[in-house]
Amino acid sequence: MSLNDYIKFLTQQFVLRLDQPKEVRKKERAAKKAERPPFAYRTFGIVPLAISLLFKKRASKK
């Protein structure tokens, strides 16, 4: 893909985005935000889950 093709693609996507009503853009942004995993899992991966399971297991034994 040449640079000219890439700039053409970006321009088309930008124009499509600008043509959408503001409410549609807000709904899309809210939907994306809702399906993202929690911050701790995005940042640190599975480690927070493992630690929380460890503490839950210890609490249930007591």
pTM value?
A: 0.48
17 Cβ contact list (under 8 Å, min separation 6):
25
Tell me, letter by letter, the H, E, C secondary structure of the chain: CCHHHHHHHHHHHHHHHHHCCHHHHHHHHHHHHHHCCCHHHHHHCCHHHHHHHHHHHHHHHC
24-54: per-residue pLDDT in tens? 999 999 999 999 888 877 778 888 888 888 8
Q: What is the pLDDT of residue 19?
A: 92
Q: What is the pLDDT of residue 46?
A: 84
